[in-house]
Structure 1
Amino acid sequence: MDGITANTEALRASVENSIGLVTALNPYIGYSAATDIAKEALATGRGVAELVQEKGLLPAETLADLLRPEIVAGRGQVHA
């Protein structure tokens, strides 16, 4: 369709704040940490990505790589 463009910033914020993101991060941060992050995100309303960064669970570059849309959708390859 002509004239329709995705708001990439809004989409990125939606992904980063989605509680479902812990599922994608589970293999990289472990089940226990993922569960703790999910609980804290739900309790505080803070984003999953923000909490992962704050707690130092992943290097910033790795987290950015894992947040790429094709990775979250299970269609890409992680470079970390």
Structure 2
Amino acid sequence: MRRPHTPDLTAGPGTTLPDSVLADLMRDTGASVGLLYLLPTTERVLRLSVVGGVSRQIAAPWARIPLDAAIP
């Protein structure tokens, strides 16, 4: 049974922290690992921002991914 979504208001009214969003998405989809990437406006590289279900050491090879990389 899924627990109802409760927004995390610790970042301020009307905001939800990215790690809370990733945790909710992983729970709702049954995923065991989740990675959230951000695209800085001045770069052509995705940067790993939030990791769930695996240590950062294991995710380290995927910490920076060029936009033209041939990976999913």
Q: TM-score over 0.5 for the alignment?
A: no
Higher percent of residues as helix = 1
Identify which of structures 1 and 2 has the higher relative contact order when contacts are C-alpha pairs closer than 8 Å and 6+ apart.
1
Higher percent of residues as strand = 2
What range describes the TM-score normalised by the shorter chain of this pair? Answer: under 0.3
